[in-house]
Structures are given as structure tokens and as C-alpha cells.
């Protein structure tokens, strides 16, 4: 789903940023990198910052200008930090992600990032069919190029639903099993003198609240029971001495 999406950097100032962009793209499953109006960047620095994403760096395509970089693209999404008369229709990267993926089903989509110091010119913005702005605080709105690329690529990757979060392999503990754990803890807390009869109900309710803020797996309960049993054993051994 991401093969038809091209990341385009316009005249990036620093080789390190280019390399960091490659790494961000590799993290999120994108591989098509275009450099419009390239400068004489330090490519050794770029390779260093690309880390294990040098394949994207070496496979980049350089274009004389932005028009050439997006010539074969149906949707061209420009990024901007500034607002103005022709930038009032900006959306967030999250809002734009689904539309970009849908468009990429049958056409090339370009996601364009401007220069680190001046962004995209009005002429370059005119080539964009949509604009996005990454929300920031008003106090400091400038975002590093590679960070901006990572945020946008992340939103695209999440929108694909490719990522599947890990699932808890251990079963959730049953109520019966949890109650056995609380009984052991009750016995232990009495034995070590942590609570007395008149405060037992109150303290046990507090412990239940503490241990019930999330789902407890069978392994979780076994660990908590093991701690209680070991504490109880240590307390009884001390009494024997």
C-alpha cells in the first residue's frame, strides 16, 4: 500500500537530514525517495545517519526541480508550518493519511517537504493539490525535516492497519484464581504485622484496588502469589529463630 507513495525533499540543507529521512522511511515501510533541486550535501554524513537504511539513500532519485519530482504524481501533498491566505485549507497528517492511501491505489502520491530554513516557496506550493500542517505549540512551530517526515510516515503506516500489536499469550486470570491470591496475601499481611483485625477489611480493599487497575494474567497472579508465599515463609522462619 505504501509503494506508490514518494517522499520528496526540496533542496535539503544537510546530508544528515537526508540520512535521517531514509531511516524514518525504512521504519515505516516507505522506500521511494526523491530529492528535488539537490545541493552538494555531505553524503558521508547521510550514510552515517541512514544507519541500516542506506539502500533507500543509494536508491534515491534526484530531480532538477519539484515540478519534475512530482510530474508523474496524481496527488501532491505539501507540508507547511506557516499559515496564510493560500494555506488556510491545511489538514493534519492524520486527517490526510487515509486519503493519501486511497489515492495511492491507482496513482503515484508525493509527500513534499521544503527546505529546513524556508520551507516551500509559493511557486512550489502551487504544485501541491493538498497541504498538511503538523500541529505544534504556538511557542515553537518549526520541526526538523526528518522529524516531520517520520511523523507523516508514521500516520501513513498506522492507517494501513499493517501493524498488529502483540497479544497477551497468557490467559487472563479467573476470579477464583485471583481470590486465592488475595487469601494468601491476607494471611501474609497478618503474619508480618502489616495489618490488624480492625483494619483488615480496609487494607484488603486497598490492595484489591491496587491490583485491579489492569487485567491480571495467570502469570501475573502466580508471581504475586509467589511473592506472598515467600514473604510468609520468611516471616515464619524468623519466628522460629
Summarised one tens digit per residue, pLDDT across range 146-197 is 999 999 999 999 999 888 777 777 888 899 999 999 999 999 988 888 888 8
- Are 93 and 150 a contacting pair, CB within 8 Å? no
- Going from the C-alpha of 193 to that of each of 39, 42, 90, the distances in angstroms are 73, 68, 63
- Enumerate residue ranges in the chain where pLDDT < 50: none
pTM score, two decimals? 0.75
pLDDT for the residue 66: 97
Span(s) in the chain for CATH 3.40.1280.10: 5-159
pLDDT for the residue 240: 65
Give the CATH number of domain 175-240: 1.10.8
Give the CATH number of domain 5-159: 3.40.1280.10
Span(s) in the chain for CATH 1.10.8: 175-240
pLDDT for the residue 76: 97
Amino acid at each position: 500500500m505504501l509503494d506508490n507513495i514518494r517522499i520528496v525533499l526540496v533542496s535539503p540543507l544537510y546530508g544528515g537530514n537526508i540520512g535521517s529521512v531514509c531511516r524514518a522511511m525504512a521504519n515505516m515501510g516507505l522506500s521511494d525517495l526523491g530529492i528535488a533541486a539537490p545541493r552538494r550535501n555531505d553524503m558521508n554524513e547521510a550514510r552515517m545517519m541512514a544507519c541500516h537504511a542506506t539502500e533507500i539513500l543509494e536508491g534515491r532519485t534526484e530531480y532538477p526541480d519539484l515540478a519534475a519530482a512530482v510530474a508523474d504524481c496524481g496527488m501532491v501533498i505539501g507540508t507547511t508550518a506557516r499559515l496564510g491566505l493560500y494555506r488556510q485549507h491545511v489538514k493534519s497528517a492524520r486527517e490526510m493519511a487515509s486519503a493519501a492511501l486511497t489515492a495511492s491505489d491507482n496513482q503515484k502520491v508525493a509527500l513534499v517537504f521544503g527546505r529546513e530554513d524556508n520551507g516551500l516557496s509559493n511557486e512550489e506550493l502551487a504544485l501541491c493539490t493538498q497541504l498538511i500542517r503538523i500541529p505544534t505549540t504556538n511557542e515553537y512551530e518549526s520541526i526538523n525535516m526528518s522529524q516531520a517526515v517520520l511523523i507523516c510516515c508514521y500516520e501513513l503506516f498506522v492507517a494501513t492497519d499493517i501493524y498488529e500489536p502483540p497479544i497477551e499469550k497468557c490467559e487472563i486470570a479467573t476470579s477464583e484464581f485471583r481470590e486465592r491470591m488475595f487469601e494468601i496475601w491476607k494471611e501474609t499481611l497478618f503474619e508480618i504485622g502489616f495489618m490488624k483485625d480492625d483494619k483488615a477489611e480496609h487494607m484488603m480493599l486497598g490492595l484489591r484496588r491496587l491490583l485491579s487497575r489492569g487485567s491480571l494474567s495467570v502469570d501475573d497472579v502466580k508471581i504475586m502469589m509467589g511473592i506472598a508465599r515467600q514473604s510468609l515463609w520468611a516471616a515464619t522462619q524468623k519466628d522460629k529463630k
